[in-house]
């Protein structure tokens, strides 16, 4: 293990609009210096979901629509409508839907990079920009917590693209110091949530054809939209307005030359495949461009699926290969696997999961993809955004005992396997041989493949 990914918390660095906390900056600097001393290359994320409260105070209350009581679970408990005029949300900058947030983010990036450029060469501007849109404006599960609010989602999506492009330009202008001596002063990318979209086949309301179309649109929006923007300079307003893919002659298929080729690599956060179905509620909403609705937890659904992790996610290792080759073939950009892991509290699947995904990573390299590295999520059990510290959401290579006041750490079989993969890899190219992988599969097993149904890339 020669690299570690961390995230800088904006609210620590800039607790108020016109205030910088240099003690916090020095704390991060000390952390990163320690990493360097231990021969770990820091991969630094500048925004990982959270925003300072002065940028975005999530709405405390919503106007409830009368029809909400008739909506089926889980929709009946979600906030609809606008926050009341007295809600503290309006006193903040309202997050990514406000263009001024982009300007403030670029100012924050300028400050952080200026302070850390002698220690950091690998920068991630934003973690999962489409995850922010899906969770914060479509599903109501991430801040700011809006549900099927397409009007706000469109503004936020545009501004997230502007924020990445502005951050890319800022880092490129500022970071002129080669921290690790490889002759490259900076590499800038973003961490992109990528999924394999499969159509639901057990759905009594819609036939399979409508679910196939929903999966196709969901895949385009989640996987392709943002990458097209920061590589080709495309803003596909036509798709957002009509849900029709590939109409490049549309007047709403906008080209931004200032957005073109604004990423040095594409980080892949890959965990699972998703089964998508057409929803009447979603399709009639202003957020219908999401294409369809995913099944998040298969434990409570009849849809046929492959092996599941503890959170009910289908494990589909081939999807990592599909994602890598999609980036290679469509955009010809280097790939950095910035997240890949599973919730596995009893450590039953983690070793198999790692072996199977590394095999598909290797297959991608052999297929011509330019892969910069692989970072497992996560080194230690983490705070999972939707599940907090729930025992079902243990992603760590090292299990953390939260009942012990010293937070004792326990190595998992997954960590042991990853250690073996590293030790068995060639010192010349850091790639493990097929025969060594086969030996590990014989010893620990592998995740059986669940072939995707009409998957779209």
61-70, 178-187, 208-217, 245-254: segment of lowest average pLDDT: 61-70
Tell me which residue has tokens 């790692």.
354
> What pLDDT score was predicted for residue 203?
61
> What pLDDT score was predicted for residue 331?
98
Q: From residue 206, how far is each of 210, 211, 213 by CA, in Å?
A: 6, 7, 11
- Say whether the peptide bond before residue 248 is cis (omega within 30 degrees of 0): no
Angle at 261 between CA 255 and CA 265, to 5 degrees: 140
Give the confidence band of 72 by pLDDT, cuts at 50, 70, 90. Answer: very low
Compute the distance between CA of residue 206 and CA of residue 197 in angstroms, rounded to an integer: 17
Tokens of 232: 């080709």
304-346 tens-digit pLDDT: 899 999 999 999 999 999 999 999 999 999 999 999 999 999 9
Q: If you average pLDDT over every residue of the chain, what do you get?
A: 91
> What pLDDT score was predicted for residue 58?
86
Domain locations along the chain? 3-444
CATH node for 3-444: 3.20.20.80
Longest Cα pair distance anywhere in the chain, in angstroms?
65
pTM of the entire predicted model: 0.93
The beta-carbon contacts of 319-322 under 8 Å, at least 24 apart in sequence, are 319/194, 319/195, 319/196, 319/270, 319/272, 319/273, 319/452, 320/268, 320/270, 320/357, 320/360, 320/361, 320/364, 321/360, 321/361, 321/363, 321/364, 321/367, 322/196, 322/455, 322/457
Q: Taking residues 118-128, what's their average pLDDT?
A: 98
Tell me which residue has tokens 């923007």.
229
H or E segment to which residue 248 belongs: none
Q: Counting Cβ atoms within 10 Å, is residue 425 exposed (0-12), middle (13-18) or buried (19+)?
A: middle
> Burial letters for 60-78: b for 16+ Cβ neighbours within 10 Å, e otherwise?
eebeeeeebeeeeeebeeb
Q: Taking residues 371-384, what's their average pLDDT?
A: 94
379-425 tens-digit pLDDT: 999 988 878 888 899 999 999 998 899 999 999 999 999 999 999 99
């Amino acid at each position: 293990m020669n690299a570690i990914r961390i995230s800088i918390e904006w609210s620590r660095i800039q607790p108020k609009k016109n205030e910088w906390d240099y003690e916090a900056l020095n704390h991060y600097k000390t952390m990163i210096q320690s990493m360097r001393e231990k021969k770990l290359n820091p991969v630094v994320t500048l925004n990982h979901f959270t925003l300072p409260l002065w940028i975005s105070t999530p709405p405390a209350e919503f106007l409830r629509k009368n029809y909400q009581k008739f909506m089926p679970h889980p929709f009946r408990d979600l906030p609809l409508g606008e926050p009341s005029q007295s809600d503290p949300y309006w006193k903040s900058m309202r997050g990514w839907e406000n263009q001024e947030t982009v300007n403030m983010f670029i100012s924050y990036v300028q400050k952080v990079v200026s302070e850390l450029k002698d220690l950091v060469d690998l920068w991630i501007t934003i973690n999962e920009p489409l995850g922010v849109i899906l969770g914060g404006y479509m599903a109501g599960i991430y801040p700011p917590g809006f549900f099927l609010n397409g009007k706000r989602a469109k503004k936020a999506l545009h501004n997230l693209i502007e924020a990445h492009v502005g951050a890319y330009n800022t880092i490129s202008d500022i970071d002129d110091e080669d921290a690790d001596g490889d002759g490259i002063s900076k590499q800038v990318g973003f961490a992109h949530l990528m999924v394999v979209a499969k159509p639901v086949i057990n759905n009594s309301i819609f036939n399979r054809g409508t679910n196939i179309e929903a999966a196709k649109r969901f895949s385009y929006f989640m996987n392709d939209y943002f990458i097209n923007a920061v590589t080709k300079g495309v803003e596909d307003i036509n798709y957002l307005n009509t849900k029709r893919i590939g109409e490049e002659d549309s007047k709403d298929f906008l080209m931004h030359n200032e957005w073109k080729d604004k990423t040095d690599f594409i980080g892949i956060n890959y965990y699972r495949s998703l089964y998508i179905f057409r929803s009447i509620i979603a399709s009639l909403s202003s957020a219908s461009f999401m294409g369809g609705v995913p099944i998040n937890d298969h434990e409570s659904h009849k849809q046929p699926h492959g092996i599941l992790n503890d959170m009910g996610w289908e494990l589909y290792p081939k999807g990592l290969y599909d994602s890598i080759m999609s980036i290679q073939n469509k955009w010809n950009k280097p790939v950095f696997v910035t997240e890949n892991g599973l919730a596995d509290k009893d450590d039953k699947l983690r070793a198999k999961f790692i072996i199977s995904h590394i095999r598909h990573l290797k297959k991608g390299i052999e297929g011509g993809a330019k892969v910069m590295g692989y970072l497992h999520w996560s080194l230690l059990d983490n705070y999972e955004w939707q599940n907090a510290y729930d025992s079902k959401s243990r992603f760590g290579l090292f299990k953390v005992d939260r009942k012990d006041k010293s937070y004792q750490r326990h190595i998992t079989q997954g960590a042991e396997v990853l250690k073996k993969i590293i030790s068995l890899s060639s010192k010349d190219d850091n790639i493990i041989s097929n025969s060594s992988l086969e030996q590990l599969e014989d010893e620990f097993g592998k995740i059986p493949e669940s072939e995707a149904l009409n998957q779209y890339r």
